[in-house]
Structures are given as C-alpha cells and as structure tokens.
Amino acid sequence: ARPKVVIVGGGAGGASVLRRLVERGNDALDIILVEPQATYTSCFYSNLFLGGFQPLDVLRHDYGAIAKLPGVTLARDAARAVDLAQRRVTLAGGSVLSYDRLVLSPGIDLDYGSVPGWSREAEERMPHAWKAGRQTEILKRQLDAVPDGGLILVIAPPDPYRCPPGPYERVSMMAHALTATGRSRARIVILDPKDRFSKQPLFQQGWEKHYPGMIEWMPPAIHAGIQTVDPSSMTVETGFETYRNADLVNVIPRQTAGRIAIEAGLAGDHLYCPIDPLTMQSRADPAVFVLGDAAIAGDMPKSAFAANSQAQRVAAIIGHELLGGTDGEAAYLNRCWSLIAANDSVFVGGAYRPGPDKIEQVASDISTLEDSAATRRANYEDSAGWYAGLTLDMFG
Ligand code: FAD
C-alpha cells in the first residue's frame, strides 16, 4: 500500500504541505486532507476587505481543485481525536483514519475567557473576526454602521498571537473606511495589553499623516487593564476609564493552538506546540508535524507566509522519510505587509534557520519612515502579488 499522510486543516499550512507532497509524490502517497469547511476564507487580506480595498469574494477559496489532485482524498469533516500510539485520527463523523505521518495545521483557537464579560455568545455583538468568514462580515457591517463622531474600541491580544501587525493594520483600514465615507470625526481607541507592537513607528507615523487625531493607542500603563466588557450596553471598563455606548467593540482575545493539537497532547508553553526547528516534527512525537499558527516556531511570527514557508520543510522531510531522496536544507522565510492607507503599504521580513533550541532569525528587513511614495506603492503591489501567488499555490 502507498504510505499514508493525513493532513488536518486545509489552510495556509495544510494546503501548502499538500501541494508540495503531491508535487514530490505524484500519486506515490495516499494523502487525506481533513477540513470541515467547504470554503476557506483567508484572514490574510481580510483587513483590506474591511477597508473597502477588496471584495469579500477575493478572500474565499474552495477545495475543488485540491480534490482532483493525484493521490488526494478530501474528508469534509473535523478531526476530533488523535491516538498517537496507534497512529489514528478519529473524525467528528466517526470515521477513523490511520496514518504513517500526520500533519497538523489547525490554526488557532480563541480563549473566550480571557476578556472578562466577553464570551462565545458575545461574539455576535462584539466580534473578533480573528477567524475569517461570518465574523469578518459582521465586523464589516458594524463598521459600516458607525456614525460620524462614533466610538470604536479595539481590544488587542497578548503575545503570542496570529499576525502580529494584524490588529494595527485593521485599525488603519477602519480609519480609511471612515475617512473615505465622510466620518472622519469618529474615534478609534486601541486598548492594548502590550507595551509595544509590530511596526509601531511606521503605523504611528502613518496614522498621524492619514488620520490625524482619529486613532489613540493605549498601552497597559495608561488604560490600567480591561476590568470588564458588557455586550448588552456596549460598555468597556478599564482601570482608567469606562467607555459606554460604544458603536463598535472589536475584541481580539488571547489565542492558543487549534484545540485538536492541544487535545492530542502536543502543546507546551502558552498552549502552542513545540517542534524540532530542523524538521518541524512535534517534540512529542516525530510521526507528527505541526506547522503554522499552532506551532512554536521560535523567532518566526504566526503568519500565512511563515506557514507556507514551513510547509516546504514539512513536505521535504515527509517525502524523504516515506519516499527516499534528499531532505534538503532547512531555511525559512517570512514577509508581512500592512496597508496603512491607499498605496501606503509597509512590510517587515526575515530569514530564519534552525538553531539548537528554536528557529532563529538570521536576517531582517523592514520599511523605513523615510520611504518614498513610490516605494510604498510598490510594497502594495508586492503584497497583491503575494496574495495571488499564495492562494494559487494553496487552491489553484
Ligand atoms: P489557518 O489558515 O487558519 O488554517 C487552519 C485550518 O484548519 C482551517 O481551515 C480550519 O477550518 C481547519 N481546522 C481547524 N481545526 C480543525 C480540525 N479539528 N479538523 C480539521 N480541520 C481543522 N498572514 C500573512 O502572512 N500576511 C497577512 O497579511 C496576514 N494578515 C492577517 C490579517 C488578519 C486580520 C488575521 C487574523 C491574520 C492574518 N494573517 C496574515 C495570518 C494568517 O491568516 C495565519 O497566520 C495563517 O492563516 C495560518 O495558517 P494555519 O494553516 O496555521 O491556519
């Protein structure tokens, strides 16, 4: 029988591994993709939908082309349990899949208890939109309804979380949408549990330039902590001030690895999964590979770019172990763009290598405060090319 690879999660990590394995194995492997959603809505680029720069359709991708790839079977179901000893995955529908190698890229889960007063039930009124789909649409509808002079509160997440610059790009896109529709007297307050954030000087310069006076960022020393939120009255109480009748409250809570990875017993610090930096194998079981947001990837941020880069490595190791041939060299990359305003995009990037204990950054690159308008515009074009290329690679 052909060696069997089960991939749990058809997102940036899982779909990219699948592609690389099909290229390498070309029918020599029996690959099963376990994914409950018929349509994947990408979080990446979802802020641009919020800002009015992209239609929702651009974010949505289906698995039709993947299902037709040689050696691939699609299981439209969620993985419910993993038996590491028996090398078996049980699906919610009851079927049991055995594997020679298991790839887990389930993304994140949200810690609903991490913001007092907020809950899964409250996510309709105070959306997170940190998993894309229905939540993204709710957030957009609420943003469209904010009046001129209205108040938006964004509760930012603690580290480590999916997409470090994401909350700040989101705020930029909210400010753009408000300004472009004659609502520049609206106010956005970011209540942050962190003392600093990704690309902070670039964002703050951009906010001053494009949206003067509209965005206020508060670190914990100023807001003194979130005491409680009340979705029924749209109130947020901090140690410093109580905001009542907010027009929009975007709660981005603490995050962990996707539940299936935790329940499989693969999680460590902060409920993310330790991996071997050379191979992306779980520290708990070398037959299991964890990548993307669920993994502790050392200096690499949790991004779709990073997940796609890690996927090359996962596929190289699995191919080497199951089909023979070389396992190549471990080298990882990341690049994250953030759109601040029309044609004003900034990036941060890095190159990474496996160190003794973790994936270590060996080179970095970041936009500067002095960039020309042409550079910022070219960054935007690069980001559009990246989005098109990545989603083609995953779903094409
Ligand atoms: P995902 O892409 O979320 O895929 C996980 C998949 O697993 C999902 O399809 C889910 O349905 C499935 N799944 C979960 N549990 C199970 C289960 N039990 N059984 C089966 N399937 C399961 N990254 C960038 O590189 N650039 C950006 O510009 C960028 N912008 C972002 C903006 C925002 C607002 C957000 C929130 C994120 C952004 N990201 C960006 C981050 C990016 O979305 C994630 O890092 C990336 O999607 C991680 O890939 P993943 O495979 O780990 O998880």
Convert the pLDDT of each residue in 215-240 to its tens digit: 999 999 999 999 999 999 999 999 99
Residue 293: which of 310, 274, 308, 307 has the closest Cα? 307
User: pLDDT band for position 112 (50/70/90)?
Assistant: very high
User: How many other C-beta atoms lie within 10 A of the C-beta of residue 223?
Assistant: 20
Residue 165: which of 126, 125, 135, 206 has the closest Cα? 206
% of the chain at pLDDT higher than 70: 100
User: How many other C-beta atoms lie within 10 A of the C-beta of residue 382?
Assistant: 14
User: How many other C-beta atoms lie within 10 A of the C-beta of residue 375?
Assistant: 14
User: Who's near 348: CB < 8 A, 6+ residues apart?
Assistant: 165, 198, 199, 335, 336, 364, 365, 366, 367
Name every protein residue with a CB atom under 6 angstroms from any ligand 1 atom: 8-14, 34-37, 40, 43-44, 46-47, 78-79, 105-107, 130, 162-163, 166, 170, 258, 260, 292-294, 302-305, 307, 336-337
**Lookup: tokens for 212:** 């003067």
The answer to whether 72 and 31 have CB atoms below 8 angstroms apart is: yes
Mean pLDDT value across residues 193-219: 98
**Lookup: tokens for 163:** 């997409």
What is the distance between the alpha carbons of residues 96 and 86, in angstroms, rounded to a whole number? 11
User: pLDDT band for position 7 (50/70/90)?
Assistant: very high
pLDDT at residue 383, rounded to an integer? 98
Residue type, 272: Y
Ligand 1 centre and the CA of 182: distance in Å? 33
Tell me how far apart the terminal alpha carbons of the chain are, to the nearest angstrom: 28
193 in helix, strand or coil?
coil
Convert the pLDDT of each residue in 275-303 to its tens digit: 999 999 999 999 999 999 999 999 999 99
The average confidence (pLDDT) of the chain is 98
Burial of residue 183 (CB within 10 Å: 0-12, 13-18, 19+) is middle
Residue 294: which of 101, 91, 9, 75 has the closest Cα? 9
pLDDT at residue 148, rounded to an integer? 98
User: pLDDT band for position 25 (50/70/90)?
Assistant: confident
Ligand 1 centre and the CA of 371: distance in Å? 30
The answer to whether 334 and 362 have CB atoms below 8 angstroms apart is: no
Q: Phi-psi bin for 177: left (phi > 0), alpha (psi -120 to 50), beta?
A: alpha
Convert the pLDDT of each residue in 362-376 to its tens digit: 999 999 999 999 999
pLDDT at residue 201, rounded to an integer? 98
247 in helix, strand or coil?
coil
Crossing angle of the two packed helices 373-395 and 12-25, in degrees rounded to 10: 60
Q: What is the DSSP letter of 44?
A: T
What is the distance between the alpha carbons of residues 330 and 359, in angstroms, rounded to a whole number? 10
**Lookup: tokens for 363:** 């080179």
Kindly tell me if the per-residue pLDDT of 391 is higher than 90.
yes
User: pLDDT band for position 141 (50/70/90)?
Assistant: very high
Ligand 1 centre and the CA of 337: distance in Å? 16
Q: Is the dihedral of CA 114, 268, 263, 156 positive or negative?
A: positive
User: What pTM, to 2 d.p., does this model score?
Assistant: 0.98
Mean pLDDT value across residues 253-268: 98
Mean pLDDT value across residues 137-157: 98
Mean pLDDT value across residues 46-74: 97
Mean pLDDT value across residues 61-70: 97
Strands 39-41 and 60-62: antiparallel
pLDDT at residue 26, rounded to an integer? 81
The answer to whether 50 and 177 have CB atoms below 8 angstroms apart is: yes
Kindly tell me if the per-residue pLDDT of 119 is higher than 90.
yes
**Lookup: tokens for 372:** 């020309």
pLDDT at residue 269, rounded to an integer? 87
Convert the pLDDT of each residue in 38-59 to its tens digit: 999 999 999 999 999 999 999 9
What is the distance between the alpha carbons of residues 314 and 312, in angstroms, rounded to a whole number? 6
Which residue puts its alpha carbon closest to atom 16 of ligand 1? 106
**Lookup: tokens for 170:** 């989101």
Which residue puts its alpha carbon closest to atom 4 of ligand 1? 11
What is the distance between the alpha carbons of residues 43 and 136, in angstroms, rounded to a whole number? 9
Mean pLDDT value across residues 333-351: 98
Measured from the Cα of 14, ligand 1's closest atom is: 51
Burial of residue 220 (CB within 10 Å: 0-12, 13-18, 19+) is middle
What is the distance between the alpha carbons of residues 341 and 212, in angstroms, rounded to a whole number? 13
pLDDT at residue 274, rounded to an integer? 98
What is the distance between the alpha carbons of residues 272 and 353, in angstroms, rounded to a whole number? 20
Convert the pLDDT of each residue in 77-92 to its tens digit: 999 999 999 999 999 9
